[in-house]
Structure 1
């Protein structure tokens, strides 16, 4: 298929089914990250795992929300753009997202928050595994 854009003709090939699944999986987990970032501010105990909420916990969940929402939105947007064959920037974005999730795993384990550790691990596997697969394909 040939697509005309800004007076240039660009050959566009359809995205393979496997690549589409990988990209949509990353969109899904990115959006889950965004939702948990927002829920953390609404209910700080969801992330802190402890019985009390103080100024330090509130600061932490606000910082977590900013990071989770911003990276999650960027991953979702770049992955959707890659569905249209514009994959510029996808690999570094997935690497940053995956590494930030590894950080969540470390925090979750060190602070005794198993949900954070497990969720971070799952997202890290998806983002970093996708980055490795996309690099090879």
Structure 2
């Protein structure tokens, strides 16, 4: 399940950009580039997840892609250099179960709003707090 979810997220990310930050003070990078205080910066997480130099055969859906790696970053709730759509370390959504309403038979198409990829807001979904198996 972890591999399927992580691969689904890779191909249908919540947005093309991540790590939105505002520079708090003038900052000069090692190459001499100056980022003035107040500059908005972010990282292109979507393109990274489809870059053949980072992910082999990025256009192919492979539910076992991350499971085959068998590393600390192969699980869905883990993050790493090839999966930064939700940043690093934010895992609270895994405490909930999400389902389509019973009338929904197939996944609706994503909507693109600015740099954000969002689900179709006209769709009804069911959200329920997960019950611990322990």
Normalised to the residue count of structure 2, the TM-score between the two structures is: 0.30
Structure with higher helix content: 1
Considering Cα pairs closer than 8 Å and 6+ residues apart, tell me whether 1 or 2 has the greater RCO. 2
Normalised to the residue count of structure 1, the TM-score between the two structures is: 0.29
